[in-house]
């Protein structure tokens, strides 16, 4: 994959008014919340803003990126869409080349099909 700039790529709102933001960060210090899946990284992030718009429920990176000799840290996860359901679950779509991408129990595909090894720059799987 390649390095990315900071920015949101999608937003969703659940029936109670909470907003969910998905985007990609270039690793320039996006602040995360306590208990984040990944407190630092580069690439895909997900955030939830409370219905009042007064606070962040969570902000997390989805992966740390990949340190590539001579290239620096590159994004291995990119997000392009997000949806939310009535129970407050967020669903994202994008791509990953990270062999350690977090998958939920029972996921249709829980690991990379291409068996990627470093550098993680080419083949990706949908996430």
Q: Model's pTM, two decimal places? A: 0.80
Q: Is 20 helix (H, G, I), strand (E, B) or coil?
A: strand
pLDDT, one tens digit per residue, over 81-104 is 999 999 999 999 988 888 778 788
User: In whole angstroms, what is the distance from residue 89 CA to residue 10 CA?
Assistant: 15
Q: Which domains does the chain have, with CATH numbers?
A: 7-101 (2.40.10)
Residues 6+ apart with CB under 8 A from 104: none
Q: What is the DSSP letter of 98?
A: -
* CA angle 53–33–121, rounded 5-degree value: 110
pLDDT, one tens digit per residue, over 15-73 is 999 999 999 887 667 888 999 988 888 888 999 999 999 999 999 988 877 777 777 77
Q: Which contiguous run of DSSP H or E holds residue 72?
A: strand 72-74
């Amino acid at each position: 994959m390649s390095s990315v700039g900071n920015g949101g790529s999608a937003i969703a709102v659940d029936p109670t008014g909470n907003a969910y933001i998905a985007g990609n960060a270039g690793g320039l210090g996006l602040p995360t919340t306590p208990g984040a899946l990944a407190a630092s990284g580069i690439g895909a992030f997900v955030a939830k803003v409370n219905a009042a718009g007064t606070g962040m429920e969570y902000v997390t990176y989805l992966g740390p990126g990949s340190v590539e000799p001579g290239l620096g840290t590159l994004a291995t996860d990119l997000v392009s869409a997000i949806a939310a359901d009535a129970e407050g679950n967020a669903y994202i779509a994008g791509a990953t080349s990270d062999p350690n991408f977090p998958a939920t129990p029972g996921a249709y595909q829980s690991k990379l099909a291409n068996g990627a090894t470093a550098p993680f720059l080419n083949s990706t799987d949908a996430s």
